[in-house]
Amino acid sequence: GPRIGVLALQGDVREHLAALSEAGALAEAVRRPAELAAVDAVVIPGGESTTMSHLLNVFDLFDPLRERLAAGMPAYGSCAGMIMLASTILDTRADARHLDALDITVRRNAFGRQVESFETDLEFTGITDRPGDALMRAVFIRAPWVESIAPEVEVLAQVPEGPAQGRIVAVRQGNVLATSFHPEVTGDRRVHQYFVDMVRAPGA
């Protein structure tokens, strides 16, 4: 399988490593520039985006990562990872840096302070629309939503019901995938499989 790195500065790294392995990738933790250089693609996990931004600077990974992304390396960001990949972030700290690999505007902690965490079953384009595939359980933890997208960004999932109905929570632009929610915690490997397939056939 392809070598896929999980950015391992902070957040739920082990869950992504396990999910990627189960989806057929060679999954490796990435903490140094040399480790980043060795992988074909990267996953940016959930965690806390302002902390992750700070740690990317401290570990001298910010610029190499941004350069690889600009050169077309496939990437998947979940929750804080989605925030890191976005081109515009609402409600963040002025000094927080982000990777600008996905033409979306993301709102941090968008579901409100009271809504620490919730779950819902949703449709995911390219996955749940295949014959026989069930809806996807989506776990949101202090999650962002996608406030707006550029025309070249494809919407893959939206909140199906409730006060946030219709909010965009999964997107793809070329080789870059992002979800507001955490598929690595549910045991459902379909999002990781989708990403591994993307890495195997970039641009398909």
Residue 109 interacting with ligand GLN (CB under 6 A)? yes
CB of 2 to ligand GLN, least distance (A): 24
Which region, judged by CB under 6 A, interacts with ligand GLN, from 20-28, 31-39, 78-86, 167-175?
A: 78-86
Residue 142 interacting with ligand GLN (CB under 6 A)? yes
CA-atom Rg of the chain in angstroms: 15
CB of 130 to ligand GLN, least distance (A): 27
Which CB, 2 or 168, lies closer to ligand GLN? 168
Q: Is 130 annotated as a binding residue?
A: no
Residue 16 interacting with ligand GLN (CB under 6 A)? no
Instruction: Please report, as residue ranges, which positions from 37 to 66 form the binding site for ligand GLN (by CB under 6 A).
Output: 46-49
Known active-site residue 35: no
Helix 49-58 and helix 62-70, axial crossing angle in degrees, nearest 10: 100
What element of type H or E holds 176?
Answer: strand 176-179
The catalytic residues are 79, 182, 184
Q: By CB under 6 A, name the binding residues for ligand GLN.
A: 46-49, 79-80, 83, 108-109, 141-142
